Amino acid sequence: MTKALLATAQVASLAVIAEALDEPAANFYQKYGFQKFKQNPMKLYLPLKSVEELCQNYNI
């Protein structure tokens, strides 16, 4: 997540995207704030604003 956040200084980015292998994996991602895409619920995203907040909360 830190690398994704740092990369936004060079490349415009909106979110970190993950593709879950199964429903338990999707639930795992959702537990950490990822949101499902409506078109493909096995693909999830976490807005970089949320990543930035997480990094600030953990002083990363």
Q: Could you tell me what percent of the chain has a pLDDT over 90?
A: 60
pLDDT at 5 over 90: no
The pLDDT, as a whole number, for residue 1 is 84
Q: Please give the tally of structural domains in the chain.
A: 1
* 9-30 average pLDDT score: 94
In terms of Cα–Cα distance, which of 6, 5, 12, 10 is closest to 46? Answer: 5
Instruction: Supply φ then ψ for residue 47, to 5 degrees.
Output: -55, 145
39-57 pLDDT, tens per residue?
Answer: 999 999 999 999 988 888 8
Kindly tell me the burial class for residue 45, based on how many C-beta atoms sit within 10 Å of its own C-beta (0-12, 13-18, 19 or more). Answer: middle
Structural domain that includes position 52: 2-57
pLDDT-based confidence at 37, cuts 50/70/90? Answer: very high
